[in-house]
Structure 1
Amino acid sequence: MPTCTRNGCGQSFEECANDAMACQYHPGKPEFHEGLKGWTCCKPREHSFDDFLSIKGCQLGPHSSEPKHKDDPFKADLTEHDDVLPEPQPAAAPAAAAPAAKAPEEDPVDEDPAGVAVPEDAKCKRNGCGAAYESDATSRRPEQCQFHPGKAVFHEGTKGWTCCKPRAMDFDEFMRIAGCARGRHLFVGTRRAAQAQVQAPPAQCRRDFYQVGGDVVVSVYAKDIDRAASSVALDADAIRVHLVHGGGSVYDDTIRLFGEIAPGASSFEYLSTKVEIRLAKAAPAPWPVLERDAA
């Protein structure tokens, strides 16, 4: 099946089911300014690169598999000017050799445990891969995944990874930088979840809520959430929040709601500094408080 090349999509699709509402994508370009990352076509901004990639598309349309052809205005062919470049001059020997810069430490490479169940339509979580899971026989071979073990780095207009040297000016070109390491695909991940289960110190998270229309929006403020190990369960009269922080601390809370909600019409989203839970009220009456025990 072809893969959609629109920004923010990347899904595989069948031409027979490719209608005018099949693709949710960003028609604009990536925009990075003062540490915030977003798209020129919509307002959401994120600090984390992973959160930026998870910003939902702001426009609907059909999928497209057409390759992107963009001329990079930042690139120039300087070979024709080689004859006018000055000869390099040898640098004066330093009085004392400066200590070599310490290479940035990368996180240990996470691995799926043997026999772990893989969710349907799961994709490899490793940076620069994103391959779709097919079966253990075809998707569990060693050295099959080509990925970046480092983190995304953006500096003075260039984009790259801490684990290798290639840099790009254009965002699409950055996303095409080939991985510099090989290993097995990572569809589930266990390292940080296992650390959290062993340490599991309690965490305190601030929360608030507001009402808009027929919805109640609850925010639980927490940074560096391990999304694979965290969960939010929505029931008709309560919500259960389980958040695992990157450092291993755990936040558990059961909120018994003032009124009933429609779980199927409710949703939640992990953001860089919080979890936002949007609850669809079963009845339109306003809630004076969030929890019925506080009424």
Structure 2
Amino acid sequence: MEKGGAVRCQRIGCDAMFTEENNAEGSCRYHDSPIFHDGMKEWSCCRQKSHDFSLFLAIPGCKTGKHTTEKPVTRTVSANPQKPMPLPSAAQNKKPDDSCSRCRQGFFCSDHGSQGRPSKPSVVTAKKDDHVEQAAAPSVKKIVDLNEPQICRNKGCGKTFKEKDNHETACEYHPGPAIFHDRLRGWKCCDIHVKEFDEFLNIPPCTKGWHNADGA
């Protein structure tokens, strides 16, 4: 600013002309930055608001200080921000292929889109006269035919089984997690690492448990 030349104050709510000589502390009355949201105009400093822009600018400044030539920064706020929804990939829409060794053992497969699911299947039985008080909506339970052949999705298993033959040592699998690091593939559960993926799939399982058609 040139010395002695009058300029316009850029503070919102002031708009006065000033020079360096008459720019004393308290000579400027102004507002902090305005907030515009859903048609409403509001001052962030004193929370006074108006739908009409002319009435909004006429609200007297609530702060005092020196005049300035620096322009304030405004911001726009939405009351209902919309977050972008991720689009599912093509692989996520595909179903596991039971003939694929990766899909059978519960690994993610870029060709068939197999995905791991929660482990440990639960079988719930209830007597006819039982009265259970539930605080939340009951979960939907999967009804399985005891003689229906199913494929175990536990990592390292991939065998076909029937629920009637399932028991706590029927399945041999890796609880994991699987580790892929520096071109080595292995299991943290049994601390075995190899270089090739086919060798990784052939690492003997280290744990016994229930077969699980939903995957570990």
More strand by share: 1
Q: TM-score, normalised by structure 1?
A: 0.27
Which structure has the larger Rg over C-alpha atoms?
A: 2
- For CA contacts below 8 A with separation 6 or more, give which structure has more relative contact order: 2
